[in-house]
Each structure stands twice: as C-alpha cells, then as structure tokens.
C-alpha cells in the first residue's frame, strides 16, 4: 500500500501532464495528483492551437481553469509550450509563410499577450519546444526557422522574459539522452544564447525513454546537460517496452503482454532515472521530474504509435505499478 506520496519522497517537484477536462471528470485521477504531485504541465491545453485557434480569438478557458486548479491544490504550473512546430495552428502557418514581417510581429505579440496575462501564475515556460530535427544536430526546418531564421528562438526567450521577468525559461526537446549529435547541437545553441545574453534559464529533457536505451548513455548525457549550469527538467518522462521508427509514426509491437519480469525491469529503470537525476544534476539545478500522462490507461503512446504499451507508473486501473515504487526508491535511496 502507498503510505506517502511521491512528492513527500522527493527533494524536488514531481509533476505530470494533464488535460483540464480529465481532472474535471475523474476523481480517482484527481486524488492521485493530489497525493503524489506538486507540479503540473498542460498536455495540450496551453499550446498555441488551443490558445489562439483563430486569428484575433484568444481562448483562455482551459488555461484559466488550470491556473485555478493549480492555485487551489498548491501545484506548480509549468507552461507548455509557446513556440512549437506541431502546436502552430493552420492559420498562423498559412499567413506566416507568406509574410515574414507579420510572423515576426505575431511572435512578439502572442508571447507578450499570453505570458503577460499569466504573469506570476506560471512558474516556468517551455519557450521553444523541439527546435531541433528529430535526429542530429540541425535546427528543425519548421515554419518558424524557415521564415525567421534561428533568431526566432532568441527572440522568443527575450519576449517571454520581458512579459514575466520572474518565470524560468526553458528550451525543451527529445532524444537528447540518446542522440549525442543532437545533444551537442542543442548544447552549442545554449552556449550561443547565453553568450548573447539571452534569458534562458533551463533545459527541458523530455525523456520519452525506451527500455533498451543504456543507462550509462543516459547518465553521460545528463552530466553534459548539467554542465551548462541551467536548471534541468525531465519534462515528459515515460518508458516504453516496444519500439517505433524515428519518424515517430508507426510502432513495432515487440511484446504481446506485460509480464511480471517486465514490470520488474521497468521498475529498475524508473529507479535508475531518479538516481541519475539526483546524482548528475546539482541540487540547485534540480527543477523537477514530470511524467507524461499518469496512467497506462491514458498514455499518448498507444494512440500515437498504434501500440499497446505500458509506459507509465500507474496501470490501466489507476493502481501504482512496480515502476511507481521503483521510482520512489530512487528518490529516497541514500
């Protein structure tokens, strides 16, 4: 039985990704959050396509609800995400691809309006998400990059800082723990931003892990990230058994069912992730660990990759898995 929650076991904030409509209708999930977590990230409610679905039509409803839920339940609210190729609504892509001056102006106005509105209520922002290609060390050829060049990144950080000088500002990406050339690319960008006085304060490492990614590689990568001196956020943690190609589309179902042995191995991996974080990231840089979806019932992995996987720490019936206890052990180990 679960005696105390993850948050009591942890020296740093423990978070999870949530849609406001889930909390509203699911009391069990709400209880899981209240017992274990002290930070939340909106899975999608705070993305551009939800905040500004049509030109001139800001929709604050979900974000407002998240702010009041987080305030009431004493949860840190992590803002995800301001600029993301996949979060850009169609109308912005259309207009922006034809008019670079408009896009440059829009970026500024969107960030100032949005971040300014929630000033003091959102602890940290993923200012730019996934600005590098899936593999390797090149900037992603998104609308933002193609139209505005790499400066859209520095500018996004500057505008966010102007709108809320207290907020922590993160660059967030995936595959950094496994793809050394991607990590090196991101680290050189971080250095360049710092040298130019751009107000970046954190690095978000999504950590969508697979069981077969070597712990030693993860550890080595995290050590390099920590050497930047930035706050480090494991921002979207989950661990799959099966696999998918690097276009992140179709999955390959390697395991038909979840065995006790697999549960044990997954628990050990979750424990190791917590240990790596504690051992490689200095305390002053530990911004927290956030899970991407709380339960195997809700995981994004299955619909997205067409898989039947079990990547989270709560099972389909919302009961803690061995992974829950493994992770907790990692938080508490001497």
Q: How far is CA 258 from CA 1, 10, 146, 250, in A?
A: 21, 28, 44, 20
26 binds ligand G3I (CB under 6 A): no
Binding residue for ligand G3I (CB under 6 A) from 10, 38, 39, 43?
A: 43
- Give the C-alpha distances (Å, rounded to integers) separating 59 from 45, 63, 68, 79, 114: 10, 8, 16, 15, 10
Regarding 179 and contact with ligand G3I (CB under 6 A), the answer is no
> Can you give 102-121 as a three-state secondary structure string?
HHHHHHHHHHHHHHHHCCCC
41 sits near ligand G3I (criterion: CB under 6 A): no
Q: Hey, which residues between 230 and 249 contact ligand G3I (CB under 6 A)?
A: 236
Element (H, E) at 77: strand 76-84
To ligand G3I, the closest distance from the beta carbon of 301 in angstroms equals 8
Q: Report the residue count for the chain.
A: 334
**Alpha-helix residue ranges (DSSP H) falling in the chain:** 6-9, 20-25, 27-36, 48-51, 61-72, 90-98, 100-117, 143-148, 151-163, 180-195, 215-226, 260-280, 301-305, 322-332
Instruction: Decide: helix, strand or coil at residue 39.
Output: strand
Residue closer to ligand G3I (CB basis): 84 or 271: 84
Q: Which of 130, 168, 177, 236 is catalytic?
A: 236
Binding mask 285-324 for ligand G3I (x = CB under 6 A): ---------------x---x--------------------
Minimum distance of ligand G3I from residue 183's CB (angstroms): 17
The smaller minimum CB distance to ligand G3I, of residues 133 and 162, is found at 133
Instruction: Kindly tell me which of 177 and 236 has the beta carbon lying closer to ligand G3I.
Output: 236
Part of the chain binding ligand G3I (CB under 6 A), chosen from 41-49, 54-62, 138-146, 315-323: 41-49
Q: Minimum CB separation from ligand G3I for residue 247, in Å?
A: 13
Active site residue 236: yes
Q: Is residue 140 close enough to count as binding ligand G3I by CB under 6 A?
A: no
Site track for ligand G3I across 60-99, x = CB under 6 A? --------------------------x-------------
Q: How far is the CB of 252 from ligand G3I (least distance, A)?
A: 17
| 47 near ligand G3I (CB under 6 A) | yes
CA-to-CA separations, 100 to 49, 53, 132, 156, in angstroms, rounded: 20, 20, 21, 15
Distance between CA atoms of residues 323 and 305, nearest Å:
22
Distances (CA, A) of 290 to 123, 145, 164: 14, 28, 22
Q: What angle do CA 237, 238, 244 make, to 5 degrees?
A: 120
* Three-state DSSP class for residue 129: strand
Q: Decide: 20 and 42 in contact? Cβ < 8 Å.
A: yes
CB of 85 to ligand G3I, least distance (A): 10
End-to-end CA distance of the chain: 22
Q: Could you tell me the smallest distance in angstroms from the CB atom of residue 39 to ligand G3I?
A: 16
Is residue 206 at the binding interface for ligand G3I, with CB under 6 A as the rule?
yes
* Residue 44 binds ligand G3I (CB under 6 A): yes
Binding site for ligand G3I (CB under 6 A): 43-44, 47, 86, 129, 206, 236, 300, 304
Annotated active-site positions, please? 236
């Amino acid at each position: 039985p679960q005696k105390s929650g993850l948050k009591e076991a942890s020296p740093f904030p423990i978070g999870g990704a949530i849609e406001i409509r889930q909390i509203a209708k699911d009391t069990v999930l709400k209880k899981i959050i209240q017992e274990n977590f002290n930070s939340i990230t909106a899975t999608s409610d705070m993305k551009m396509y939800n905040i500004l679905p049509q030109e001139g039509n800001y929709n604050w409803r979900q974000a407002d609800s998240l702010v009041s839920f987080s305030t009431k339940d004493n949860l840190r609210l992590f803002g995800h995400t301001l600029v993301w190729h996949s979060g850009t609504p169609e109308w912005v892509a259309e207009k922006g691809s034809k008019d670079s001056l408009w896009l440059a102006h829009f970026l500024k106005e969107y960030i100032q309006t949005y971040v300014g509105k929630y000033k003091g209520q959102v602890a940290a922002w993923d200012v730019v998400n996934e600005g590098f290609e899936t593999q390797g060390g090149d900037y992603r050829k998104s609308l933002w990059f193609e139209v505005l060049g790499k400066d859209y990144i520095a500018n996004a950080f500057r505008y966010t800082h102007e709108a809320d000088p207290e907020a922590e500002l993160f660059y967030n990406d995936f595959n950094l723990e496994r793809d050394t050339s991607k990590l090196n690319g991101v680290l050189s960008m971080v250095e360049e931003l710092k040298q130019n006085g751009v107000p970046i304060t954190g690095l978000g490492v999504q950590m969508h892990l697979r069981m077969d990614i070597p712990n030693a590689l993860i550890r080595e990568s995290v050590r390099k990230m920590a050497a930047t001196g930035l706050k480090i956020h494991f921002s979207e943690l989950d661990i799959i058994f099966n696999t998918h190609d690097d276009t992140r589309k179709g999955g390959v179902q390697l395991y038909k069912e979840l065995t006790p042995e697999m549960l044990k191995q997954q628990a050990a991996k979750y424990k190791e992730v917590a240990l790596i974080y504690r051992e490689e990231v200095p305390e002053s840089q530990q911004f927290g660990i956030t899970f991407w979806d709380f339960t195997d019932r809700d995981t994004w992995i299955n619909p997205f990759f067409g898989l039947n996987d079990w990547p989270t720490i709560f099972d389909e019936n919302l009961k803690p898995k061995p992974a829950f206890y493994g992770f907790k052990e990692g938080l508490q180990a001497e």
